[in-house]
Structure 1
Amino acid sequence: MEITTSNEERFATDIVELDRVLGGGILPGSLILVGGDPGIGKSTLLLMVAWTISKKYGTVLYISGEESLKQTRLRAERIGTLSSSLYILTETCLENIEYFIEKLNPVLVIIDSIQTIYKTDLPAAPGTVSQVRECCVQLLTIAKTKNIPIFLIGHVTKEGSLAGPRVLEHMVDAVLYLEGERHHTFRVLRAVKNRFGSTNEIGVFEMKETGLVEVKNPSAMFLAERPLGATGSLVVSSLEGTRPVLFELQALVTPSSYHNARRLATGLDLGRVLLMIAVLEKRISLNLGNQDIYVNIVGGVRTQEAALDLGICSAIASSFKDIPVDPYTLVIGEVGLAGEVRAVSQLEKRVREAEKLGLRRCVLPANNLNNLKYKGQIELIGVTNVKEALEIVLGG
């Protein structure tokens, strides 16, 4: 049997941020897992997807195992996603779900959530590892044989429950995580696995009464409420997929009341922050051993790019010395253990994003400056080590 390949048309959801993360849209026959903490907005996002696909391509089946028909309709009315081609089914038995898929022959199926679905021939309770795994295998078969894309919603607990979506990650084609703090309005959709696209892209949304709204310019949104002239606050840049995003990074350094000083990082890798503290103590001779240090990326987002290293060092030093950083300065650079500042990738994109938002100065690795072809309004200052960078950032 000869196997041929062709560029199969994807379903465009018209939600640009989601289509970017998926790699251009929903591929027919794919099984996609959407994970995240309870209440983060997974059901809202996929109800929006169901609505747009039903308007453009035909019948969509949304299966809810957690809410009644009235509850789901109320949610749909609130966010404006009612459609005559969108069918809602409240069912948890997999055999019944298969029957309705066969009967309706939808172009898209959404299951909310996989933890509520069960097979009658398995003695285990819904949500257990065996039920979740077997149901996923059966749904994978349906997706591939009928060429129907299926979205699975899965909850992630803080304890890392074995019944969570991590059990399923090796089975599905794509794994998307909706991240954010429940008390913040921003949500970041990130792909941690994607057989048909990049895992470097992110989508940014804002939670409103009418549902999740796409954020066209995340940098402007994240920097909108930053305080001007506050110590320990500065602007950094993280490359998320193909686009740079500017964040406000804050640090608070205060004398410790306890024998062991506290270290806390929100939105950043704590291990990386501890390395930067060690560099400041050893290479810059800052006495931070008796100081509590708190570092935060504002907006409830998470990033781990090494290009934030110099920003972390600068924010901590700014708070410790009580010297504010110029609010129109962007700080970029990876820091090594010897205190050297190393080059970062795609610097021109980051600088141009900063220029759009009215920043006037950029402190960056000297090696990048030698190869940069940027011609614009921002003043570029190359540095080779942390000490040199802090003299510039804190010295005016």
Structure 2
Amino acid sequence: MTKRSRTLWLAVGVMCLSHPSAAQIPGLEPEKNWDLDGYVKYMLTYSNPDNSSNAIDHLIHQRFNFEYRFANHFAFNAGLRNRALAGDSLDIPMYEQLVSLDTGYWDLSKNVIEQDSVIVNSQFDRLFMDWHKDDWNARVGRFRINWSMNTVWNPNDLFNAYSIYDVDYEERAGSDAIMLGHSLGFADGVEVIFSPDTSQVLNDYTVRYYGNDSGWDYQVIGGKNALDNVLGAGFATDWHGAGIRGEVTWFKPRRDSYQGITLNDNTVLSLESDYSFSGENNWLLRAAWLYIEKPEETQSARRYLSLPLNAKTLSFTHHTGYLELGFDLTPLSRMSVSTVYYDDNSYFLGLSNHYSLANDWQLLTIIQRFDGTSRSLFGTTPATLLFANIKWSF
């Protein structure tokens, strides 16, 4: 365990000991002051690249979510994910480093087993203290900062951007940060966040104001994100039954270059809409468009799909389109078909099915196809991926 990891554990322990439980208000106390839940799931992945050999991988993913509520407005939360990986991907050079990668200020990820046949990794992706009183709230530690209005691409999500192709990590990553929030009304408020980095030049300090007016949810964000000054806005509303959302963020570098890389102004914009049709099959149609003024170049589809994203790398082209259609085959089975098109003529096709096996059991099957013209990013290494994921929740 690193020095920063030990420091965080000590701070959490001190905070827990310094806030003993007090008497609950009669008639309002919960049945217990703690909760523990989680899941265990197994996923089989079959990769079928057009121009190379096939690969089969196995993943056992187990998760604990724990919350302890103190009587004096404090709560402690921890989320621990344990993964056991085996299969052909272990032959990829430096794969064990990719599995254990932790991009936070504290390194809370460790490969407890590294062998030729299996890697076992444990990581805390949630570890924070929470405080609420009247219209004020504060949070410190590792937690998810969700500043998104959209559901597909989120230019306003400065902290926890994610890949739409990730089929295993529904909780998404967290950030190491300090947050102070103040409610200004039913749906209005302000949040201020400081997120440190091991390199001080990459520290984040940002603010968000959010509100609601005449059926419109809106937000304005600003501050410093890594090497950029940022200014952004987002909205969400309903028009004749259709949900309409949008986000835009402008990035202004604070210096001309960093580690030999030239930095430029950039604007990222995304609009999306969805519509639910009445009927027993619950049809849902969703469309989204993403624009990046200066997309970062990438030389490999594998590299783009495996590395962590940020709000400026949601795509590798100027324009990207998304279309999805979902419907219930039966009350226990839901099907979704989606496609993504990039303006370098790369495209993605996806087909997924969620099936409820029992109250606490779920089966997820997915087919993904990455392809395109011969000069496109996905077209240079076309591939088909199949996933089978069975999950038990407790």
> Which TM-score band applies after superposition, normalised by the shorter structure?
under 0.3
For normalisation by structure 1, the TM-score amounts to 0.22
Higher RCO structure, 1 or 2 (CA under 8 Å, sep 6+):
1
Which one has the largest radius of gyration? 1
- Richer in helix (by share): 1
